[in-house]
Amino acid sequence: MAEDKPKKRTGPKKAAKKSSAKKSTAKKSATKRTTKKTAAKKTAAKKATAKKTTAKKRAVRKRAPGRVRFPDISPASWEHSTDRAALHALQTLPGFDTVIRKVIGAIGERNVKLIFTAQALEVGPNQYPDLYEMLTEVCATLDWPVPRLYVSQTPLANAGAVGVDKPFIVLNSSLIELSSPEEIRFVLGHEVGHIMSEHALYRTLLFLLLQFSGAVVPVVGQAIRPITLALLEWNRKAEISCDRAGLLAVQNVDGAVGALGVMAGGIRGREGTIDVEALRVQSRDYSDSQGLDTFFKFMATASQTHPFPVIRVREMDRFAEEGEYTDILKGDYVRRGDEPALRDDMTAAGAGFSDSAQTVFSNADEYVGKALSNFAGALRRRSKE
The string of DSSP letters for 296-317 reads HHHHHHTT-SS--HHHHHHHHH
Structural domain includes residue 32: no
Which H helix or E strand runs over 171? strand 168-172
Contact (CB, 8 A) for 309 and 264: yes
344 in a structural domain = yes
pLDDT winner (highest mean) among 93-107, 148-162, 286-300: 148-162
Cα separation of the two ends of the chain: 138
Name the pLDDT band for 378 (thresholds 50, 70, 90): low
The whole-angstrom separation of Cα 130 and Cα 128 is: 6
385 inside domain? no
Domain assignment present for residue 49? The answer is no
What is the reported pLDDT for 112? 77
Residue 162 included in any domain: yes
pTM, two decimals, is 0.73
Give a yes or no: residue 27 inside a domain.
no
Instruction: Give the tens place of pLDDT for each residue, 343-371.
Output: 555 555 545 555 555 565 555 556 555 66
Q: What is the mean pLDDT of residues 282-301?
A: 61
Tell me how far CA of residue 13 lies from CA of 8, 9, 229, 325, in angstroms: 14, 11, 101, 78
Q: How confident is the model at residue 267 (pLDDT cuts 50, 70, 90)?
A: confident
In a domain, 2, yes or no: no
Angstrom distance (rounded) from CA 170 to CA 158: 9
Number of domains the chain is built from = 1
In the sheet that holds 159-162, the strands lie side by side as 120-122, 148-152, 168-172, 159-162
Contact between residue 298 and residue 326 where contact means Cβ atoms under 8 Å apart: no
Range of the domain at 214: 66-380
- Tell me which H or E stretch contains 257: helix 253-265
Q: Of the given ranges (173-177, 189-193, 231-235, 272-276), which has the lowest mean pLDDT? A: 231-235
Rounded Cα–Cα distance for residues 109 and 283 (Å): 39
CA distance 208 to 225: 12
* 378/291: higher pLDDT: 378
* Other beta carbons within 10 Å of 62: 13
Q: Which phi and psi (to 5°) does residue 114 adopt? A: -65, -30
pLDDT at position 204 is: 85
Q: Is residue 60 part of a domain?
A: no
What is the pLDDT, as a whole number, of residue 151?
Answer: 96
